[in-house]
Amino acid sequence: MPEKETDMNDINMKKRIPPLLAGLRDHLENGIIPFWMERALDKEFGGYMTNFNENGAALAMPEKYLNTQVRLLWWFSRLLRAYPARKDFRKMADAGADFIIKYFWDAQNGGWFWKVKRDGTGIDDGKVVYGQSFAIYAFSEYFRATGERRALEYASRTFDLLQKYAADTLHGGYYENLEKDWTVAPGGFCAGDRKGLDTHMHLMEAFTNLYAASGEEIHRRKLLEIIDLIMLRMVDLETGCGRNQFDLEFHPIPAIAIRRTWNAERAGDAPATPTDTTSYGHNVELAWLMRDAIETAKGSIEPYLEKIRRLLSHAVEHGVDWEFGGIYRDGTSKGGPLIMDKEFWQHSEVLVGFLDGVELFGEERYLDAFENVWNFVKCHMIVKATGEWRVLLERKGHPIDSNVGNEWKVSYHTGRSMLECISRLERLNH
């Protein structure tokens, strides 16, 4: 693994940027964007289609999940902000927003239901904070792209409801799993007695976009609080790795599969895994979301820089597969990988974070890591004919799950990665 330190003006690094930039632009504009523009609208019931095989053919979709519905709303809104002339993006965003508000909003208790049937009929009316956070993220983006007041109102109301019903005024942070009426869910599999890095990180991401949309001081204050909460309670000072799950007092506890998460749905009740499991993908995603959060809040990055460096560096040193390419799915905080599969979202997120490593620390090894992961993605993950990424591969790139869309995967990770990487590569290219 290359260890050479360099600075941003290094000529060798500079000349590696333009071809990468061209490759990512091409994949975004001729791959991911058309893939979802052609397929995402549910012409029968409204809202979005999410399930597609690698040929781009729609699969049976009995259920619509809050999470992927609002992620696609976010996606078309975000595209509209990047390409304001594209009225077709606006139409896609509007169509999703109408369906989501009509069928997911709980007019009685406030907040968003977790799951409906394809036609909008209710299935699961639980209040999952993870899902609420993406609703804030999406409706903030929809407002930023369109100026629609009702979008900001829904985002702000969701924020207010979280402050009232999800915040833990005893220990800080947020309860993550609640029922329809906002009572806290039972413990164990329902996880009313747990807090986690994943949900808190996505709350931070949501508050970042909400503050960018509203400019309201209270949104900034809660953003600053959750930035510090994550850094203080959820990141291991010694290793610089994020920890997975905690009790309500933020003691790290062994991770279990939790109701209404992807891991639980694909694996059933998984046995407890060791406490020191860490996700390279989450760590690097946290690093770049943290930088974005701090910059949006107009805070100083200085006090956080060492932790960001450790999050990135641990992943480069232990998570990147320098032999076959890509990033391992999970590892131990002490070092090496535990699960060597290659999953789409970790690849999306580390691409962004590794470019932050180049920008913040000027080290070429982050560009090496970026190129390694991107080449693996191009070779094995992206389905050339249709332009989206497969869900899961084994270590060497052989598909385990070849589908490119499901109830948990749309273009939020893959497409956002391209947009975020392109803006970083453009800056590095100057």
List all residues 6 or more positions away from 40 whose beta carbon is below 8 Å from its beta carbon.
48, 49, 50, 72, 76, 92, 96, 410
* Using rule CB under 8 A, residue 173 touches a second copy: yes
CB atoms within 10 A of CB 303: 11
* Using rule CB under 8 A, residue 168 touches a second copy: yes
* Using rule CB under 8 A, residue 181 touches a second copy: yes
List all residues 6 or more positions away from 260 whose beta carbon is below 8 Å from its beta carbon.
114, 124, 126, 128, 130, 177
Q: Which one of residues 15, 170, 298, 323 is an interface residue with a second copy (CB under 8 A)?
A: 170
> Are the CB atoms for 176 and 196 separated by under 8 Å?
yes
Tokens of 71: 């992620």
Nearer to a second copy, 119 or 181 (CB): 181
Closest separation in Å from C-beta 258 to a second copy: 21
> Are the CB atoms for 5 and 316 separated by under 8 Å?
no
Q: Which one of residues 164, 251, 334, 398 is an interface residue with a second copy (CB under 8 A)?
A: 164
User: Ramachandran region of residue 286, left (φ > 0), alpha (ψ -120 to 50) or beta?
Assistant: alpha
Residues numbered 190-249 forming contacts with a second copy, rule: CB under 8 A:
217-218, 221-222, 225-226, 228-229, 232
Q: Which one of residues 108, 169, 215, 384 is an interface residue with a second copy (CB under 8 A)?
A: 169
* Using rule CB under 8 A, residue 319 touches a second copy: no
Nearer to a second copy, 172 or 299 (CB): 172
> Are the CB atoms for 320 and 3 separated by under 8 Å?
no
Closest separation in Å from C-beta 290 to a second copy: 15
Nearer to a second copy, 168 or 341 (CB): 168
* Using rule CB under 8 A, residue 299 touches a second copy: no
* Using rule CB under 8 A, residue 251 touches a second copy: no
Nearer to a second copy, 7 or 181 (CB): 181
Closest separation in Å from C-beta 260 to a second copy: 21
* Using rule CB under 8 A, residue 167 touches a second copy: yes
Size of the site for a second copy (CB under 8 A): 25
234 to 141, 335, 352: CA distances (angstroms): 27, 18, 21
Nearer to a second copy, 304 or 344 (CB): 304
* Using rule CB under 8 A, residue 94 touches a second copy: no
What burial class does residue 121 get, using C-beta atoms within 10 Å of its C-beta: 0-12 exposed, 13-18 middle, 19+ buried?
A: exposed
Nearer to a second copy, 11 or 107 (CB): 107
Nearer to a second copy, 162 or 320 (CB): 162
Nearer to a second copy, 108 or 169 (CB): 169
* Using rule CB under 8 A, residue 165 touches a second copy: yes
User: What is the Cα–Cα distance from 382 to 197, expressed in whole angstroms?
Assistant: 28
List all residues 6 or more positions away from 261 whose beta carbon is below 8 Å from its beta carbon.
130
Q: Which one of residues 49, 151, 184, 185 is an interface residue with a second copy (CB under 8 A)?
A: 184
Interface positions with a second copy (CB under 8 A): 160, 163-165, 167-174, 181-184, 217-218, 221-222, 225-226, 228-229, 232
